[in-house]
Structure formats: C-alpha cells, structure tokens
C-alpha cells in the first residue's frame, strides 16, 4: 500500500508538470485560463512560426550530426580499449569520464575560450565539436558496458578461423554490441538535443537551437506555441525511448 503510494508520488512529480504543459498546449487561452477550452490553435500557429520551426530543425540536424560522429568515435574507442592493452590505458580511461562530472557551465566557458583561442570562434562547427565532446563519454560508457558481456573467445575463435581484425569486428563484435551502440546513439542524440549551456555559449546570434530559443522566449514573453512544440517533442522522444527499450532490452539480456 505504502509502496504504491510512493510509486504514485514519484510518477506524479515526474509527469504532472509535463501533463499540465501538454494540456495548456491544447488550451485556447493564451493566459492559461481555466477551464481548458480545447483547441489546436497553438499547433496551427506553431506551423507558421518560422523562428521556432527553424531552431527545431537546426537542433535536430545538429543532434543527428553529433550522434553519428560521437557514436562512431565512441564505439571505435570502446572496442580499442576493450581489445588492446597499451601503456597509459588506465589513465586514458579515467580521463574520458570527467566531462560527465564537470558542470556544463564550466565546460562551456572553457570551450568558448578555447575556440576563440584557436580562431574558430562561435558558430555551428564549434557547437558540433562541443556537443561531440560532451556526448562521447556517454557513448563510451554504454558501449563499454555492453562489451563487458562479450566473450573474448568469440573473437579468438573468429581469428583462429582466419578472420582479419576488421572481419572479426564486423562479424562478431558489432552484432553483439549493436544494442549498446543504439542506446549510446540515443544518449548522444539526447545530450546534443537537450544541450543548452554549450549551445548558448557557442552559437552565433541568430543561429539558435531550440533550447536556447525556449530560454529566450521565457525571458521575453512566452507564447503557448512553445508548449505545443515541447509536447510534440515529448511524444516523439517517449516513442523513441519505448522502441529503443524494446529493441535493446536496455543492453541487459542477450
């Protein structure tokens, strides 16, 4: 009984704000008047609001580019760290994790200074590089966890049968860790798509991503179109989560 109450409370805290927001996106009133008058007017307005649409597409394509780069690099790094012994390996593994722990505010400041220092300055390349650096450790953690369940003798068996390291990777390693790669890619996408601090610091004025746009919208005057786009994103990301969880079984079972 008490247990159910706990679960109920947790779910309430998790989902109540989201439900309120979703509800308000369907409310005709701009000023959150109750009772809710069902209307899709904000979704229609959203469709005409180029600023929101543009920054949404921008966030999506940046996240996709980041996902591809971070997943490829992270998977390759995980396989190398798992397969080979080399001097300094332990240090390298430790050095890969602080980006998860260091506050993004500090990472973002450091990146801004660095990118100006090397002459790259603000702009899309800097945003993508920054996001990749933030997403990479997540991919490595997830893929490494999956690799830990791979039986090393499978790779040895493939080599004993004449397979080159590349064929071993393609035929044995990658199929086994595929669920981990998918999960890592989802993380990378989420880290980039969600990213506010680093995007805010590194974007050129005008080239905003969705989180940056929402931030400035809150300061300048909020329209329920933001509720609408947020609701769409929540529905899409929960659908993606469910599909991924079903497909990968969260990297647990084989």
Partner 1 sequence: MTEVRVEGLCKSYSGTHALEDISLTFPESSFFGLLGPSGSGKTTLLRAIAGFVNPDRGRVFFDGEPVEDMPVEAREIGMVFQNYALFPNMTVAENVAFGLAVRKVHGAEQSRRVSEVLDLVQLGSLGQRKPHELSGGQRQRLAMARAIVTKPRVLLLDEPLSALDKSLRVDLQIELKRIQREVGITTIFVTHDQEEALTLSDQIGILKDGRLVRHGPPQDVYDNPGDAFSAHFLGEVNLFDITPCDSGHCLRDGTFIGVVAADPGNLLSVRAEHLRITAAEPDIDIRLRANLVQRIFAGAMGSCVLEWQGQVLKAVGRHQEFSHLPENGQVWVTWSMEQARWVRP
Q: Which residues bind partner 1 (CB under 8 A)?
A: 151, 153-154, 156-164, 167, 171-172, 175-176, 254
Handedness of CA 35, 37, 43, 48 (dihedral sign): negative
Q: How far is the CB of 244 from partner 1 (least distance, A)?
A: 20
Residue number, 31 or 166, with CB nearest to partner 1:
166
Residue number, 17 or 252, with CB nearest to partner 1:
252
Of the candidates 208, 216, 205, 149, the residue with the CA atom closest to the CA atom of residue 179: 149
Residue number, 90 or 205, with CB nearest to partner 1:
90
Q: How far is the CB of 30 from partner 1 (least distance, A)?
A: 55
Q: How far is the CB of 227 from partner 1 (least distance, A)?
A: 45
Residue number, 46 or 168, with CB nearest to partner 1:
168
Residue number, 123 or 175, with CB nearest to partner 1:
175
Residue number, 246 or 254, with CB nearest to partner 1:
254
* Angle between helix 124-147 and helix 104-117 axes, rounded to 10 deg: 130
Q: How far is the CB of 164 from partner 1 (least distance, A)?
A: 6
Q: How far is the CB of 150 from partner 1 (least distance, A)?
A: 10
Q: What b-and-e string marks burial along 6-35, b requiring 16 or more CB atoms within 10 Å of the CB? A: eeeeeeeeeeeeeeebbebbbbeeeeeeee
Residue number, 157 or 238, with CB nearest to partner 1:
157
């Amino acid at each position: 009984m008490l247990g159910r109450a706990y679960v109920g409370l947790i779910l309430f805290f998790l989902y109540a704000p989201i439900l309120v927001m979703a509800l308000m996106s369907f409310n005709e009133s701009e000023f959150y008047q109750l009772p809710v008058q069902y209307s899709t007017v904000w979704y229609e307005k959203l469709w005409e609001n180029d600023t929101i649409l543009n920054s949404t597409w921008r966030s999506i394509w940046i996240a996709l580019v980041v996902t591809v780069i971070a997943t490829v690099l992270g998977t390759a790094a995980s396989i190398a760290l798992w397969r080979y012994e080399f001097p300094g390996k332990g240090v390298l593994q430790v050095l890969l994790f602080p980006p998860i722990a260091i506050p993004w505010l500090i990472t973002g400041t450091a990146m801004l200074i660095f990118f100006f220092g090397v002459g790259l300055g603000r702009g899309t390349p800097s945003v993508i590089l920054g996001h990749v650096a933030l997403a990479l450790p997540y991919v490595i953690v997830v893929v490494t966890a999956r690799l830990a369940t791979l039986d090393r003798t499978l790779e040895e068996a493939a080599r004993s049968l004449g397979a080159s390291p590349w064929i071993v990777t393609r035929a044995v390693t990658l199929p086994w860790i595929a669920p981990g790669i998918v999960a890592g890619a989802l993380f990378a996408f989420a880290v980039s798509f969600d990213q506010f601090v680093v995007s805010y610091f590194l974007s050129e004025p005008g080239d905003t991503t969705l989180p940056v746009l929402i931030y400035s919208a809150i300061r300048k005057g909020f329209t329920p179109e933001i509720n609408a786009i947020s609701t769409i994103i929540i529905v899409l990301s929960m659908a993606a989560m469910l599909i991924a969880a079903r497909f990968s079984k969260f990297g647990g079972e084989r």
